[in-house]
Amino acid sequence: MTTASEAAASAGGLLLPVPDEDGAPFWEYAAQGELRVQACAACGRLRFPPRPCCPHCRSFDSEWRRMSGRGRIWSYVRPHPPLLPAYAAQAPYNVILVELADAPHIRLAGNLVTSADAPLDSVDPARLRIGARVHVVFTETGGMAVPRWVLEKS
């Protein structure tokens, strides 16, 4: 039996994000080409992943603050099969963790690619380096905008 959310989640082969209530705004802003992170409306501290309440001042009021979209690679892995079929087809690919330039402890998982719509294995593995500067781009897939990352021109 395939549920509606499972079908949606596997459109195009790769998994699509299934936003929860707290995460939905992130994906709505992504659809507008904006990288935004949840911030406390009371004390101003950023938090990720999004959640109902500020862990610092316990305020339930939040806003979504626009990020510059720049960051550095904090770490990365290169998954090899066995993997879900759509991922196995592109393996070994990279998954990177990007520490945002605007918010050092907010690290977004993503893929380093040569351009927004390029495959997950489009970057030469020799170019993967912790500390490398990257910036966000968005790719349209299955009706959602998913962030990907490209190397800054050095």
Partner 1 sequence: MAATLKDATAIVGIGQTAFAKRLPQSEKELACRAILAALADAGIEPSEVDAFASYTMEETDEVEVAKAIGAGDVTFFSKIGYGGGGSCATVGHLASAVATGQATVGVAWRSRKRGSGPRPWKNTAVQLPTPGQWTRPFGLLRPADEIGMLARRYMHEYGATRDHLFNVAMACRNRANANPAAMMYERPLTREMYMTSRMISDPLCLFDNCLETDGALACVIVSAERARDCRQKPVYVHSVAQGLPAQHHGMVNYWNDDPLSGPAWTAARHLWKQADFGPQDVDVAQIYDAFTPLIPLSLEGYGFCGRGEGAAFTEGGALETGGRLPINTGGGGLSEAYVHGFNLINEGVKQLRGVSTAQVPDAATCLVTAGEGVPTSAILLRS
Task: Rounding to the nearest 10 degrees, give the CA dihedral for residues 30, 14, 132, 79.
Answer: 150
CA distance 22 to 80: 32
CA distance 84 to 37: 29
Task: Rounding to the nearest 10 degrees, give the CA dihedral for residues 104, 96, 49, 26.
Answer: 100
| Count of residues engaged in binding Zn ion, rule: CB under 5 A | 7
CB closer to partner 1 out of 33 and 153 = 33
CA distance 15 to 73: 22
CB closer to partner 1 out of 12 and 44 = 12
Out of 18, 43, 77, 130, which residue is the one contacting Zn ion (CB under 5 A)? 43
77 within 8 A of 95, measured Cβ to Cβ? yes
| Binding footprint of partner 1 on the chain (CB under 8 A) | 3, 5-6, 9-10, 14-20, 22-23, 27, 48-49, 55, 74-80, 82-84, 87, 90, 92-93, 95, 97, 105-111, 120, 130, 146
Contact code string over 49-88 relative to Zn ion, x by CB under 5 A: -----x-xx-x-----------------------------
Out of 35, 40, 67, 120, which residue is the one contacting Zn ion (CB under 5 A)? 40
Binding site for Zn ion (CB under 5 A): 40, 42-43, 54, 56-57, 59
